[in-house]
Amino acid sequence: MESINAKYVSQKISKTRWKPVSHSTLQQPEIFATGSWDNEENKISLWSIGNHENVAMDDGNEGDPQVLCEHKHDGDVLDLQTLSVSQHWARAHRYPCDSAPCTSVVCSSPEIVTVGEDGRIVVFRADHEGVVQTIENADSSTIHAVTYLRTTEILTVNSIGQLKMWDLRQHSKSPSQIFSLSGDRVPLHCVDRHPNQQHIVATGGQDGMLCVWDVRQGNSPFSLMEAHSAEMWEVHFHPTNPDHMFTCSEDGSLLHWETSSQSDLPSFLQGNRNNSMISRSAMPSAGGNQSIISAWLSGDSSKSRLETTHMLPSQTLSVNSLDVLGHYLVCGTDGEAIFVHRQIPV
């Protein structure tokens, strides 16, 4: 796998995120950030995979990420997002007598939403020093992850297997909708939504299952797929080609999920057993609706239309985080390594 570079960094990596690039200029990502955990001194680090004139071509480091800068971080880094602002909000999440871990953050500039073990949802603005909105006691359990559904709506997942939708315009203490796993309340650790079809949402949890939800109907997962043999830490649709999805896990694997159509016919003409007609827009053409069933919402039939590929050369310790942008993927592990893949097939 010559397109993969492994960089050993002497610290457990908990989060990895690319610096966004302009899609209109076809610019390739060059800079990413990492955060560490469970080390004597944790750090936020910025790395570059661009050309480095000061790196000798014969020292064996050609193509390796090069650190640009580092900053000490108090406590484990539990999430990372990129935003061009410098702000610090102390004790955003707290118990009555102590600080509480802030478990996840999501940005839609200038708004920033955080969630935590204290069950609170806190909204900030990058250009504002104080808290903009707080939903106290939003959850009686730990909120593990948050993402935007739409401009004013967010999704959260918690430690009792619930996916909740919140409308921040309502300033309500209750979610607008609750979805849940049936049976055992398996904790959900991660959530992402389809970049084009926002009603399609993917989650992963403690049992390693990949759950795909249609938030427009029902209150349970539309599809359940066996993905990993241990906790799934992150799930990400590809931001510009969402027929591709990526998951990583405590079991040391990073999977690439790709939907494959059985023919060139639209899915709804292929006689699928599942008759739920869910709209999925490909790149819209001038003068026509190209809506077909999303393969992510094809229930059991999706098993024959999903291909999975292991993205790392070998099983390693827990793969805690991944991020994908264009043809580039970066991930961080408990094996104190960062992997950069420059030619993911999307």
**Right CATH number for 4-266+307-341 from 2.40.30.10, 2.130.10.10, 3.40.50.150, 3.50.50.60?**
2.130.10.10
pLDDT at 167 over 60: yes
Question: Pick the residue with more confidence: 267 or 109?
Answer: 109
Q: pLDDT tens digits, residue range 43-78?
A: 999 999 986 554 444 455 667 899 999 999 999 999
Q: pLDDT tens digits, residue range 290-317?
A: 334 577 876 544 455 788 999 998 877 9
Residue 165's nearest CA partner among 197, 128, 198 is: 198
Please name the residue that has the structure tokens 């955060």: 35
* Mean pLDDT of all residues in 67-95: 88
Bin 216: left if φ > 0, else alpha if -120 < ψ < 50, else beta.
Answer: alpha
Give residue 256's pLDDT.
Answer: 97
Q: pLDDT tens digits, residue range 215-270?
A: 998 888 988 999 999 999 999 999 999 999 999 999 999 999 998 754 443 333 33
pLDDT at 275 over 50: no
User: Model-level pTM?
Assistant: 0.86
| H-state helical runs in 110-149 | none
Query: Domain ranges in the chain?
Result: 4-266+307-341
Separation of alpha carbons 14 and 35, rounded Å: 6
Measured CA distances, 233 to 91, 191, 242 (Å): 25, 9, 19
Contact 6, 344 (CB under 8 A): no
Give residue 89's pLDDT.
Answer: 83
